[in-house]
Structure 1
Amino acid sequence: MGKHALLSASASKRWLSCPPSARLEEQFRDEAGGSPYAEEGTAAHALAEHKLKKALKRRSKRPVSDYHCDEMEECTDGYVAFAMEQVELAKQECKDPVVLIEQRLDYSAYVPEGFGTGDLLIVADHVLTVIDLKYGKGVAVDAERNPQMMLYGLGALELFDALYDIDIVRMAIYQPRLESVSTWEITVPELMEWVEMELKPKAVLAIKGEGEFHSGDWCRFCKAKNTCRARAEEYLKLAQMEFKAPPLLSDEEIVEVLKVADELAKWSADVYAYAQDEAVTKGKKWAGFKLVEGRSNRKYTDEEEVAQAAQKAGYTDIYKKTLIGITEMERLLGKKKFAEILGKLVYKPQGKVTLVPESDKRQEIAASTAEADFKEE
């Protein structure tokens, strides 16, 4: 596995928001072998790289992975189609744009020891395009003011700004499994203003392990999240409120609870998972808690023997047959065939009404509609 920068682009949202976390993470070991999600993402990137090289008529050997499946084939095909569209757009501005795949990008001129890898760079006369493939299906990532993409843009400018008169850095994040494509662009002067006003000062603090700890959604992938005091203090502030029965809380108090309720639930789950893992794997004793066997359901010792015994006793109606789910069916047929054969037989019911922050990008619905939906449930 290659070396990762302490102030990596992929973790930049975290260390820019919480500078001391970069050094704090050094106290924690990486999980042996990596997660299956990371391995799946690596396989998808390798396959996408191969397909894109072939589309650009470059030599490439198809990678082999146990993670390859119909879904990955379709997702990487979609990514290549999107990438080639961007190449064609660049050709409208520049006869022979430079196209680089999996390019190492060094932005250490602005961030100590900073470097990363850009999935795709397209360099035209006045526009530099940075494209990032994200194969995960956890959360849709926005390209607007995305620090990872801005750092990639800086690294690319270090390579090409002296050769091309680049005015604009265009960024695109392609997430096929979430059907999300987010694009954004920034002028080079605006990007450099961000460098001076935010990036450089925060990077200096982060490399020294200085600054203030701050919790937020960037804690999700932090190695210290389970035992971080700053994160705990943020959520334990709720305990300082003089709680009354919910109907008696003021509107302001309810809003304060809503703001942190989701993250509070995630934090408590993280702490519980950490405590249980310490108890199970390291024998850690937690005051007032003990390990017990969880509830379990009965299972057949041997299904074939069970079937034979039941049939011998005269019981033959012992099997059930069900239709496979939509996702599995789509994987079996492929998206195109699925749409052709079953498209008219599939519908998407209205989603359950949910209260979310205003920052959520989904369309707001009228209160009367929400009330009607609740009554139907």
Structure 2
Amino acid sequence: MNHKKRKHALLSASSAHRWLLCTPSARLEEQFPDTDSETAQEGTLAHELAEIRARNYVNPGDISKRKLNSAIKKLKENALWQDEMMVHTDAYLDYIKNTAIGLPSMPSFRIEHEVDFHSYVPEGFGTADLILIQGELLQVIDFKYGKGVPVSAEENPQMMLYALGAYEAYRMLYPIKQIKLSIVQPRIDNISEWECSLQELLAFGNYVKERAALAFEGKGDFCPGEKQCRFCRAKSQCRARAEENVRLAFSPDKGKLPPLITNEEAGRYLLQGEDVAKWLSDLEEYALKECLKGNEVPGWKAVEGRASRVWTDMDKAFETLEKAGIAEEAMLWEKKPLTLAQVEKIVGKKNFQDAVGEYVVKKPGKPTLVHEEDKREAITNKVTAEEVFKEED
């Protein structure tokens, strides 16, 4: 159950979105250490909690209530533990339960199960959060603890590789014909589902074979882009990414063009320049680290940032000010209420809703620009016919 000690394949399922597009990247990344951020460590802890709770549900005889409570108590000793992890793993567990109840009969479960897909990817293997098989259905369910970008199950290469591995392992035991992929991302209320036929999955497998063979040898063309470069360990020093972003940022269009760009051009420039700002930030971080190591980066140097003042002993300082006639209530402390989210975290989501839910209203967020494939409904400032007639009534 210790997720930190797991071995990882060169062509892992979790990085498939990268090496399928940019085949040489996997070998290029080998030169860089694989370090976990605090966010990743937090996700690992949440996954361990999700695993033990799922095992207790699927097989309470093996993972008893007592054993479950003992395991949770141990997880709570981790410095990264947050009580909200129980709430978010509740959502994952509810999805598993509702899925099982909705099937004609109780499915067969495989929890945190290592799958082998070396028939498609050299030395390929990975660990699926949950595999569910019932009749002709093979379902892969993945728990995501991230709260940044919603992850879609549609044609998700990581999930499809897990499904290929599960199919290879169980095709002699079950008449599998239908594949379902599910992603449960509770921190942003994202549940994504996608289904395909076995034939579609196997067609993906044939595509993967060719790309994976190139990736394993470190061959093929570099293909820099915002999505594939985001978590690449070589992103700061990758020459292909640097040259592509310099081209996008500084190479002017040739030929005589109108003085104002069109909406079509604006959309194209936004897509083309999406990685430029991120690349410059990554490059700046890399250059700073090099300067701090004592290495020269021509034209740049590391300096001390703006200094800030802090109390050495705030209690003593305030005590001195009070003796000098400064009133504590009037001058030294500012009374501020906690935010709505902070209060909810303290009292618990359900208790919060029951107690003060009637005093909470959800205001629409500030308009933001996203890719057209985003699932949220588009908004405009145009007045609709319904709004016009409503005003007249």
User: Please, what TM-score do these two structures have when normalized by structure 2?
Assistant: 0.87
Unaligned runs of 5+ in 1: 370-377
The answer to whether 1:356 aligns with 2:360 is: no
User: Partners in 1 of 2:43 and 2:61 — Cα distance?
Assistant: 23
Among 50, 53, 63, the residue aligned to 2:52: 50
Secondary structure of 2:382 counterpart = helix
Q: Deviations over 1:203-223 (max 9, x none)?
A: 110010001110121211111
User: Partners in 2 of 1:58 and 1:213 — Cα distance?
Assistant: 51
Q: Residue 359 of structure 1: CA displacement?
A: 2.5
The answer to whether 1:74 aligns with 2:87 is: yes
Contact 2:100–2:106 (CA under 8 A) maintained in structure 1: no
User: Partners in 1 of 2:194 and 2:81 — Cα distance?
Assistant: 31
What is aligned with 1:130?
A: 140
User: Partners in 2 of 1:364 and 1:44 — Cα distance?
Assistant: 33
What is aligned with 1:373?
A: none
Q: Deviations over 1:189-239 (max 9, x none)?
A: 11111212x211101100100011101212111111111111112211230
The answer to whether 1:298 aligns with 2:302 is: no
- Which aligned pairs between 1:218-233 and structure 2 lie closer than 5 A? 218-233=228-243
- Which aligned pairs between 1:150-299 and structure 2 lie closer than 5 A? 150-196=160-206, 198-216=207-225, 217-238=227-248, 239-241=250-252, 248-251=259-262, 252-280=264-292, 282-299=293-310
Contact 2:288–2:301 (CA under 8 A) maintained in structure 1: no
Secondary structure of 2:244 counterpart = helix
Secondary structure of 2:102 counterpart = helix
Q: Residue 36 of structure 1: CA displacement?
A: 1.4
What is aligned with 2:39?
A: 37
User: Partners in 2 of 1:278 and 1:267 — Cα distance?
Assistant: 16
What is aligned with 1:84?
A: 97
Q: Residue 96 of structure 1: CA displacement?
A: 4.2
Q: Residue 242 of structure 1: CA displacement?
A: 5.3
Secondary structure of 1:315 counterpart = coil
Of the structure 1 ranges 36-45 and 60-69, higher mean CA displacement relative to structure 2 is found in: 60-69
Q: Residue 81 of structure 1: CA displacement?
A: 1.1
What is aligned with 1:311?
A: 322
User: Partners in 2 of 1:345 and 1:264 — Cα distance?
Assistant: 43
The answer to whether 1:23 aligns with 2:27 is: yes
Of the structure 1 ranges 144-153 and 321-330, higher mean CA displacement relative to structure 2 is found in: 321-330
**Shift in CA distance, 146/291, structure 1 to aligned 2, threshold 3 Å:** same
User: Partners in 2 of 1:80 and 1:175 — Cα distance?
Assistant: 12
Amino acid at match of 1:366: T
Q: Residue 255 of structure 1: CA displacement?
A: 3.1
Q: Residue 329 of structure 1: CA displacement?
A: 1.1
Unaligned runs of 5+ in 2: 384-393
Amino acid at match of 1:181: I
Q: Deviations over 1:262-311 (max 9, x none)?
A: 3211111111111112222x212211112211113322221101110111
Q: Deviations over 1:5-38 (max 9, x none)?
A: 011100000000111101111111223xx32112
- Over aligned residues, Cα RMSD in angstroms? 1.7
Q: Residue 253 of structure 1: CA displacement?
A: 4.2
Q: Deviations over 1:32-55 (max 9, x none)?
A: xx3211211111111111111222
Amino acid at match of 1:233: E
**Shift in CA distance, 161/242, structure 1 to aligned 2, threshold 3 Å:** closer
Q: Residue 349 of structure 1: CA displacement?
A: 2.5
Contact 2:290–2:297 (CA under 8 A) maintained in structure 1: no
Amino acid at match of 1:69: Q
Contact 2:224–2:244 (CA under 8 A) maintained in structure 1: yes
User: Partners in 2 of 1:103 and 1:285 — Cα distance?
Assistant: 48
Aligned identity (percent) is 43
Among 354, 360, 365, the residue aligned to 1:346: 360
What is aligned with 2:109?
A: 99
Of the structure 1 ranges 131-140 and 344-353, higher mean CA displacement relative to structure 2 is found in: 344-353
Q: Deviations over 1:117-138 (max 9, x none)?
A: 0111111111011000011112
The answer to whether 1:59 aligns with 2:73 is: no
Secondary structure of 1:171 counterpart = strand
Contact 2:181–2:194 (CA under 8 A) maintained in structure 1: yes
Q: Residue 357 of structure 1: CA displacement?
A: 3.0
Of the structure 1 ranges 313-322 and 51-60, higher mean CA displacement relative to structure 2 is found in: 51-60
**Shift in CA distance, 287/249, structure 1 to aligned 2, threshold 3 Å:** farther
**Shift in CA distance, 47/58, structure 1 to aligned 2, threshold 3 Å:** farther
Secondary structure of 1:169 counterpart = strand
Q: Residue 154 of structure 1: CA displacement?
A: 0.5
